[in-house]
């Protein structure tokens, strides 16, 4: 029931996103056409493959970040802020339900969007340049690109951004405020991270596994597996914290 | 089988220094229509939100059909229909969507009741909620509560802000449903005339405390205004006399009970009884509340000073 | 058919309803055997608590003005209420006293007051 409500609330956003994606695709195809590159991409299979993966990953990463903010802005806290909390929380369900069902709904929607985006962009590439990976011995692990790592990055990044935005939205009872604070915090962290790496050579923890494995590890690094588990737990900690906040407060 | 649909004992909500609700003992009989009255800010909405589990009481207890928070939360909410003070539902959804949203939550939901009242109240069920007028919004909120199949309806100012036509429609549907189903209805309102027509019990709350809880029948049978003229008439109030007003050369006594006895007492002091008349709810409410607020403007006469004769 | 009742005067609502039914019967607007609306229907129409209507109907039945059929349904009773004349007079006496009090306060003569009563009876009779 709450899943359906979540869909109705976010429906518009999803269609706008898909529309933009299609528009982007058309623009890109058009520019390729004009540059007369359609069907005439030079380069060997490996280069093409790297480019294909790179574009797919890049766009999907963008989707992960942006849509996670958007998805995170829809939560039970936002409902309370809009004045529908009295109605919603007087339905016969525990407050825990509203937190977790809401969170879950967002997770499902995000995953759907990520998968769709990845497949769509990838299909576009394949459509243009053909099944390039057939010419490669191990397409999943070409030097510089690691498919599982990329996939992991997408999921963990989305988990972090979504979770933080979600929690802050419940805390402040406003989807908008949650997004603003989340953007601010993550932006500040990214800047700090970049600066530290640039000037001190220290790498801070990040869900971006690709980046993590490209730079020398910070002193806190305990291995990739620990890193992944850590970020996953953090993603789950956010809805849990939101539940604690909601359980203790008046609506 | 509990005889009370709703019971509270010493219910209180205290924010820092503010005592929004201060030791409330409500007794709402099962199957009754109970009017919960009070001025703005008296504590009605705070009380109701505690009843619905939206706010946690600072002190005291409450039970609905013998069940209490937090253990019986789900069962209480299944059996209690609610219309909040702010009549807000999900903006993007229309009436049909909202019915669809609500249906799986309540085991006794009735689509028939929903469509019946949607038709009677002429609610545009295809229009998104954000585009509905206040009247239609309120109707829709009430519809949700009625179709739920609840045993208790808790309505927070259901007729607030409505034009007389819509208010009338709502009351008609509410009474029709009540007459048919015999639910218990607990409603807060400013509209004393309407409450007097539809309620059988009233509770008057003032600054967080209960001033009066009685059946309307009891109030009509007992509360009287005695108009008397004479010399050296008593001017003090006590438990029986709510207030005394000077009205020209006569005195008006508002008494809670035993009017005849009081009147003969006055006669014994040489007074002439000009009139003994019953009071309607509005008058009772005003007299009781003004007694608590002797310094507000519009209060006629002295309620506590001794009276000097002027005949 | 039923005018709306109001709480302004302090007169109990059930009495107002009873009064309206009796008036309608006396004036011929309601004839013997005519159906009355159900308690639920009347309560809803008047926007009053159904217990109020139920009480009025009970009193009316006790007074023999209406009767309820076992299968449901309320109708205006046949014939005059089965009361002794003495009882009927006893019932009317408070109204007569009220009329006398009001008339005296207004300093009307006995003739004026009696004339008023006659005119009212004629008016009532004229509606049959």
Does B28 map to a domain? yes
What global pTM score does this model have? 0.87
Q: Which of B32, B179, B187, B191 to mutate to test the interface with C (most CBs of C within 10 A)?
A: B179
| Neighboring chain C residues of B178 at a CB cutoff of 8 Å | 50
Structural domain including B171 reads: 4-217
User: Which residue pairs from A180-186 have beta carbons closer than 8 angstroms and sit at least 24 positions apart in sequence?
Assistant: A182/A69, A182/A72, A183/A69, A186/A160, A186/A161
Q: What integer pLDDT is reported at residue C28 of this predicted model?
A: 79
| Neighboring chain B residues of A10 at a CB cutoff of 8 Å | none
Does B112 map to a domain? yes
Q: What is the pLDDT of residues B45-84, one digit of tens each?
A: 999 999 999 999 999 999 999 999 888 999 999 999 999 9
Q: Are residues B191 and B234 in the same domain?
A: no
- Is A90 within 8 Å of B53 when comparing Cβ atoms? yes
> Does B215 have pLDDT greater than 90?
yes
| Neighboring chain B residues of C39 at a CB cutoff of 8 Å | 179
Chain B touched by C40 (CB under 8 Å): yes
> Does C128 have pLDDT greater than 70?
no
Q: Are residues B13 and B119 in the same domain?
A: yes
Q: What integer pLDDT is reported at residue A29 of this predicted model?
A: 85
> Does B305 have pLDDT greater than 50?
no
CB atoms inside a 10 Å sphere around CB B49: 23
Band (B196; pLDDT cuts 50, 70, 90): very high
Q: Which of B150, B184, B217 is the last residue of a domain?
A: B217
- Is B55 within 8 Å of A89 when comparing Cβ atoms? no
| Neighboring chain A residues of B86 at a CB cutoff of 8 Å | 83, 86
Range B280-288 average pLDDT: 92
| Neighboring chain B residues of A175 at a CB cutoff of 8 Å | none
Q: Count contacts between A and B (CB, < 8 Å).
A: 67
Q: What integer pLDDT is reported at residue A146 of this predicted model?
A: 80
Nearest chain B alpha carbon to C16: B197
Which of A230-239, B57-66, B195-204, C20-29 bottoms out in mean pLDDT, i.e. has the lowest?
A: C20-29
- The Cα of C127 is separated from the nearest Cα of chain B by a number of Å equal to 31
Q: What is the pLDDT of residues B242-279, one digit of tens each?
A: 888 887 788 899 999 999 999 988 888 888 888 899 89
User: Which residue pairs from A96-99 have beta carbons closer than 8 angstroms and sit at least 24 positions apart in sequence?
Assistant: A96/A243, A96/A247, A97/A2, A98/A2, A98/A246, A99/A75, A99/A170, A99/A239, A99/A242, A99/A243, A99/A246
- The Cα of C69 is separated from the nearest Cα of chain B by a number of Å equal to 19
> Does B296 have pLDDT greater than 60?
no
Q: What integer pLDDT is reported at residue C59 of this predicted model?
A: 93
Band (B107; pLDDT cuts 50, 70, 90): very high
- The Cα of A31 is separated from the nearest Cα of chain B by a number of Å equal to 38
Q: Are residues B9 and B137 in the same domain?
A: yes
Q: Are residues B87 and B185 in the same domain?
A: yes
Strands B201-206 and B33-37: parallel
Q: Are residues B145 and B246 in the same domain?
A: no
Q: Are residues B205 and B249 in the same domain?
A: no
Q: Which chains touch A (3 or more CB pairs under 8 A)?
A: B
Q: Are residues B206 and B261 in the same domain?
A: no
| Neighboring chain B residues of C52 at a CB cutoff of 8 Å | 197
Q: Are residues B244 and B167 in the same domain?
A: no
The residues near C90 (Cβ < 8 Å, ≥ 6 apart) are none
Q: Are residues B64 and B201 in the same domain?
A: yes
- The Cα of B48 is separated from the nearest Cα of chain C by a number of Å equal to 22
User: Average model confidence (pLDDT) for chain B?
Assistant: 90
Q: Which of B187, B217, B247 is the last residue of a domain?
A: B217
DSSP H or E run through A113? helix A95-129
Chain A touched by B86 (CB under 8 Å): yes
What is the spatial distance between Cα B157 and Cα C117, in angstroms, rounded to a whole number? 46
CATH for B13: 3.40.50.300
Instruction: For residue A4, give the nearest of B82, B139, B104 by alpha carbon.
Output: B104
| Neighboring chain C residues of B33 at a CB cutoff of 8 Å | 49
| Neighboring chain B residues of C47 at a CB cutoff of 8 Å | 168, 171-172, 175, 194, 197-198
Nearest chain B alpha carbon to C41: B176
Range B203-218 average pLDDT: 95
Q: Are residues B30 and B125 in the same domain?
A: yes
Band (A134; pLDDT cuts 50, 70, 90): confident
Band (B303; pLDDT cuts 50, 70, 90): very low
Range B113-132 average pLDDT: 95
Q: What integer pLDDT is reported at residue A222 of this predicted model?
A: 78
Does B305 map to a domain? no
Q: What is the pLDDT of residues C55-102, one digit of tens each?
A: 999 999 988 889 988 888 899 888 665 566 777 788 788 889 889 888
Band (B310; pLDDT cuts 50, 70, 90): very low
Does B159 map to a domain? yes
> Does A3 have pLDDT greater than 80?
yes
Q: Are residues B128 and B25 in the same domain?
A: yes
Total domains in chain B come to 2
Nearest chain A alpha carbon to B69: A94
Q: Count contacts between B and C (CB, < 8 Å).
A: 55
Does B161 map to a domain? yes
User: Average model confidence (pLDDT) for chain A?
Assistant: 89
What is the spatial distance between Cα B217 and Cα B205, in angstroms, rounded to a whole number? 19
- Is A87 within 8 Å of B55 when comparing Cβ atoms? no
For the CA atoms of C12, C16, C19, C24, what is the dihedral angle to 10 degrees? -170
Does B311 map to a domain? no
Does B304 map to a domain? no
B92 → closest Cβ in A1, A9, A89: A9
Sign, Cα dihedral of C76, C79, C82, C85: positive
Q: Are residues B120 and B54 in the same domain?
A: yes
B84 → closest Cβ in A4, A9, A87: A87
Q: Which of C14, C44, C53, C102 to mutate to test the interface with B (most CBs of B within 10 A)?
A: C44
Q: What is the pLDDT of residues B135-179, one digit of tens each?
A: 999 999 999 999 999 999 999 999 999 999 999 999 999 999 998
């Amino acid at each position: 029931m709450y899943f359906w409500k979540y869909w109705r609330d976010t429906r518009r956003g999803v269609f706008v996103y898909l529309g933009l994606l299609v528009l982007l695709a058309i623009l890109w195809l058009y520019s390729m056409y004009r540059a007369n590159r359609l069907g005439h991409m030079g380069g060997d299979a490996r280069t093409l493959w790297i480019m294909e993966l790179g574009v797919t990953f890049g766009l999907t990463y963008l989707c992960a970040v942006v849509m996670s903010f958007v998805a995170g802005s829809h939560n039970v806290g936002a409902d309370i802020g809009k004045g529908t909390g009295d109605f919603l929380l007087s339905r016969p369900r525990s407050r825990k339900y509203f937190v977790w069902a809401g969170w879950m709904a967002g997770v499902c929607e995000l995953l759907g969007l990520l998968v769709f985006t990845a497949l769509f962009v990838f299909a576009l590439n394949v459509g243009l340049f053909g099944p390039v990976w057939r010419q490669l011995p191990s397409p999943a692990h070409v030097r510089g690109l690691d498919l599982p790592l990329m996939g992991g990055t997408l999921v963990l990044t989305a988990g972090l951004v979504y979770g933080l935005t979600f929690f802050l939205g419940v805390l402040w009872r406003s989807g908008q405020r949650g997004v603003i604070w989340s953007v601010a915090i993550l932006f500040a962290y990214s800047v700090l991270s970049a600066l530290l790496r640039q000037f001190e050579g220290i790498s801070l923890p990040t869900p971006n596994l690709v980046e993590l494995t490209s730079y020398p590890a910070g002193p806190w690094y305990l291995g990739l597996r620990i890193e992944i588990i850590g970020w996953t737990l953090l993603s789950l900690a956010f809805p849990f914290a939101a539940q604690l906040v909601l359980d203790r407060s008046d609506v | 089988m509990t005889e009370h649909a709703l019971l509270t004992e010493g219910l209180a909500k205290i924010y820092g220094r503010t005592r929004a609700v201060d030791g409330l003992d409500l007794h709402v009989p099962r199957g009754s229509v109970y009017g919960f009255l009070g001025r703005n800010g008296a504590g009605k909405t705070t009380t109701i939100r505690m009843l619905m589990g939206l706010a946690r009481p600072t002190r005291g207890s409450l039970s609905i059909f013998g069940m209490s928070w937090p253990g019986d939360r789900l069962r209480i909410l299944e059996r209690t229909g609610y219309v909040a003070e702010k009549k807000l539902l999900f903006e993007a959804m229309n009436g049909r969507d909202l019915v669809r949203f609500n249906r799986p939550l309540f085991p006794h939901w009735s689509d028939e009741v929903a469509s019946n009242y949607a038709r009677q109240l002429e609610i545009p069920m295809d229009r998104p909620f954000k585009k509905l007028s206040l009247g239609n919004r309120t109707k829709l909120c009430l519809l949700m509560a009625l179709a739920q199949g609840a045993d208790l309806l808790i309505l927070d100012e259901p007729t607030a802000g409505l034009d007389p036509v819509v208010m009338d429609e709502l009351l008609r549907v509410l009474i029709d449903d009540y007459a048919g189903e015999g639910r218990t209805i607990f409603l807060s309102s400013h509209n004393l005339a309407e409450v007097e027509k539809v309620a059988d019990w009233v509770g008057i709350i003032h600054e967080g405390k209960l001033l009066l809880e009685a059946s309307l029948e009891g109030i009509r049978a007992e509360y009287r205004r005695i108009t008397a003229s004479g010399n050296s008439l008593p001017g003090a109030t006590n438990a029986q006399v709510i207030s005394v007003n000077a009205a020209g050369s006569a005195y008006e006594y508002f008494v809670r009970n035993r009017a005849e006895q009081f009147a003969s007492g006055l006669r014994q002091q040489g007074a002439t009884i000009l009139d003994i008349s019953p009071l309607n709810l509005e008058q009772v409410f005003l007299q009781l509340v003004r007694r608590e607020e002797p310094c507000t403007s519009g209060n006629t006469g002295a309620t506590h000073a001794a009276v000097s004769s002027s005949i | 058919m039923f005018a709306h009742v109001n709480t302004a005067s302090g007169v109990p609502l059930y009495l107002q309803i009873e009064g309206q039914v009796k008036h309608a019967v006396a004036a011929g607007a309601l004839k013997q055997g005519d159906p009355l609306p159900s308690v639920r229907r009347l309560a809803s129409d008047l926007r009053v608590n159904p217990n109020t209507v139920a009480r009025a109907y009970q009193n009316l039945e006790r007074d023999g003005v209406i009767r309820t059929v076992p299968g449901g349904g309320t109708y205006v009773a046949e014939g005059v209420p089965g009361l002794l004349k003495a009882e009927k007079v006893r019932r009317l006496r408070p109204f007569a006293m009220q009329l006398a009090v009001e008339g005296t306060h207004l300093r009307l003569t006995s003739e004026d007051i009696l004339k008023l009563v006659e005119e009212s009876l004629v008016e009532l009779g004229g509606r049959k």
